[in-house]
A = this chain, B = another copy of it.
C-alpha cells in the first residue's frame, strides 16, 4: 500500500519496528512483567518521552507485540501445514500441533503473552481477534478437507448441546456437521492446554519425554476429531 511514502513516513515505520524488536528482546530475556519502556528507549539511544510518539502507552506496545505474536504463530503453523499438504489429514493435524508446540517452546514469553494470563487490562483488545483466529481456522480447514474427502467419524450430541452446536457450526464452518465443529473447538482448546502445561512447567516432574508424549496426545486429538492414520486399522468407533 504505502510503500513509497515520504522519507519521514519510512523513518517512522523503521523506528516503530526497532522499538518492537528491542521490546521483543527484553521480553524474551526478562518476561513481560519486567519489560520497561524506559529501558527500551535507553537501549535505542533515545529518551523515554520520545517513545510515546510511537506507542501511546506501555499496554499499546504490548498489544502490538501480542498481534505480532499471533501472526508469527499463525505463519509457523501455516508453514508446517504447507510442508505436509500432500499427506494424510491426520498427519497434517499432528504437524500443525507440533509446529505450535515448537513455536511456543522457542519463545515461552511471547507465547505467555498470547495464551497465558492476559497482562494489560484483562480484556483483550478486539483488534487481536483476527490474528488470534489463524491457527483455529487452519485446523478447521484440515478437518474440512478430510470431511469432504471421505467423511469423519460422528458423535451423537446430547440434546441440550444441539442448539449451541448449530450456532457454532453456522459461524465457523457451515459446511461441517455440528457434531464435528463441537469436537473441533474442544480439541483446539485442549491442544493449547497441552502446550500450556509444557511451556509453563506443569509437566516438570511428571512428564519427561515430552516430545513423544505430545506427539501421541496430538495424534489422539486428531483421532478424536475424526481423522485417522492410514496405517492404523481403526476406521470407526
- Tell me, yes or no, whether A149 is within 8 Å of chain B by CB: no
Over the window 153-173 of chain A, the binary record of Cβ atoms lying under 8 Å from chain B Cβ atoms (1 yes, 0 no) is: 001011011011001100110
Residue of B nearest to A30 (CB): B122
* A33 engages B193 (CB within 8 Å): no
Q: Which residues of B contact A31 (CB under 8 A)?
A: 122
A57 vs B124: C-alpha distance when bound (angstroms): 29
A200 on interface, CB distance cutoff 8 Å: yes
Give the shortest distance, in Å, between A131 (CB) and chain B (any CB). 13
Interface size class on chain A is 35 or more
Interface residues of A in 101-159 (CB under 8 A from B): 108-109, 112-113, 115-119, 122-124, 129, 132, 155, 157-158
**Interface: A213 (CB within 8 A):** yes
- CA separation between A158 and B161, bound complex, in Å? 34
User: At the interface, yes or no: A194 with Cβ under 8 Å from chain B?
Assistant: yes
B185 and A192 contacting across the interface, CB-CB below 8 Å? no
Q: How far is the CA of A154 from the CA of B164 in the complex (A)?
A: 32
Residue in B124, B164, B200 whose CB lies within 8 Å of A208: B164
CB distance A160 to B124 under 8 Å?
Answer: no
- The 0/1 profile, CB within 8 Å of B marked 1, for residues 174-215 of chain A is 000000001101101111111011001111111111001100
Check if A224 is an interface residue, CB within 8 A of chain B: yes
Say whether A48 faces chain B, with CB atoms less than 8 Å apart.
Answer: no
CB-CB < 8 A to A200: which residues of B?
A: 115, 117-118
Further 19 A-B residue pairs, CB within 8 A, beyond A132-B202, A158-B212: A33-B33, A112-B116, A113-B117, A115-B200, A117-B117, A129-B205, A155-B220, A164-B209, A167-B209, A168-B206, A172-B206, A185-B207, A186-B216, A189-B193, A190-B193, A190-B194, A192-B193, A193-B193, A193-B196
The 8 closest A-B pairs by CB, nearest first: A193-B193, A116-B117, A112-B117, A190-B190, A164-B209, A189-B197, A186-B217, A190-B193
